Amino acid sequence: MKTKETDHSIIERILAGDKSGYKDLANRHKDYAFTVAYKIAGTREDAEEIAQDAFIQAFQALPTFNQEAKFTTWFYRIVFNTALMFKRKNRVQTDDIETSQSAQFVSANTDNELKIKEQRFYIQQALNHLPPDDVTIITLFYLKEQSLEEIAQIVGISAETAKVKLCRGRKKLAEIMIRILGKEVKTLIQ
Amino acid sequence: MKDEDIFDILDGIASEEIILQHKQQLLKNPDYQALFKEYTETHALLTDVSMEKTAFNFTDKLMDRWEFSQEVVAVRKTSKLPVYFLSIMAILFVLLFIAILPILNNQASQVDISKPLRILQDKLFTRLFLLINILVALFFIDKRILKPYFQRRMGV
């Protein structure tokens, strides 16, 4: 069954000439790639462009991919680097993000939906104040699909440095959240 | 207690010793209580953050882009225009050399190039030469500029 297929067997199919493998690979990793890109870029439009560019780069480099390595670590490194390049090229205006995202609250139907949207909004706002590598480390860590060693490989640093950066990033994030929301942080998580 | 230790507690990877210290600090140190609460709240918010969903047509758009990039690469790879041009030039050079060789043999001391010059000055030859050059130029413009432009415009 295709759903139980590993990344490596999909890659083998692609290298053997099966073009449907590209679609399978994209469907499998698109949300994760998009989430990482979104946390770094701050807007859905930019995140989609970054994720698409990352997939194209990965597809082109598939013949050179080391089959003994973990595909996701290799691929998320491409996503991280693409997002980094994108950020350097297009300096994102934080004010624009705040305006466009605050409009999302209007479309929330229930209190719970509103709370989730609020949470996402403020977390994203706080993340926008952190450097891209800290954002990536925190995002990957809380998505819980990669070990700290793999996260370190993705960002291109040692595991020890990744742990220190994760700690500092979360500390800074806590400070920013307090600065943005004051004592409302507690009400946001209740 | 260090910040790193507090996050280890939140991540559930702290040692027994650290957990014991943490419990003691929680009981007697109000500053530590405030700091731990602050980190716990941020940790809870981050834990709640879920995976973002892409647009519904993400994969289709990606596949279109991928196929288009593949076609461009294929066109580039199969373009053998320079090879054809060099082959024709090499054949013409060899033919010219073969044609001139008997003349050189007959007039070893003095080379008469008036005959080949007369051919080059011929009006018909000049027109034919110009026509071939124009055709080659048009073919090149069509393949390298017009075709990729219209393909991109039509979204093929």
- pLDDT score at A106: 43
B39/A174 CB distance under 8 A: yes
Per residue in A9-44, pLDDT (tens digit) is: 999 999 998 989 999 999 999 999 999 999 988 889
Tokens representing residue B10 in the block: 């939140």
A179 close contact with B: CB closer than 8 A: no
For residues A31 and A78, give the distance between their C-alpha atoms in angstroms, rounded to a whole number: 15
> Are B53 and A119 an interchain contact pair (Cβ–Cβ within 8 Å)?
no
pLDDT digits (tens, 9 = 90+) for B99-112: 877 777 776 556 66
Do A158 and A111 contact (CB within 8 A), yes or no? no
Q: How far apart are CA B85 and CA B70, in angstroms?
A: 26
B123 Cβ neighbours under 8 A, 6+ residues apart: none
Residue A82 pLDDT more than 90?
A: yes
Q: How far apart are CA B140 and CA B84, in angstroms?
A: 13
How far is Cα B128 from Cα A53, in angstroms, rounded to an integer? 49
Q: What is the pLDDT of residues A119-160, one digit of tens each?
A: 778 888 888 889 999 999 999 999 888 899 999 999 999 999
- To the nearest 10°, report the CA torsion of A54, A56, A60, A66: 40
Looking at beta carbons, which residues of chain B come within 8 Å of A44?
Answer: 52, 55
End-to-end CA distance of chain B: 62
- CB of B33 within 8 Å of any CB in chain A? no
User: For residue B70, what pLDDT band results from cuts at 50, 70 and 90?
Assistant: confident
Give yes or no for residue A79 having a pLDDT over 60. Answer: yes
DSSP B108: S
Cα distances (angstroms) measured from residue A64 to each of A11, A57, A58, B1: 11, 12, 10, 47
**Number of CB atoms found within 10 A of residue A78's CB:** 18
CA-to-CA distance for A78 and A84, rounded, in angstroms?
10
Q: What is the Cα–Cα distance from A97 to A90, expressed in whole angstroms?
A: 13
Amino acid at the residue A114: L
**Tally of CB atoms within 10 A around A95:** 8
The reply to whether residue B46 touches residue A142, judged by beta carbons under 8 angstroms, is yes
Q: Is the complex ipTM higher than 0.90?
A: no
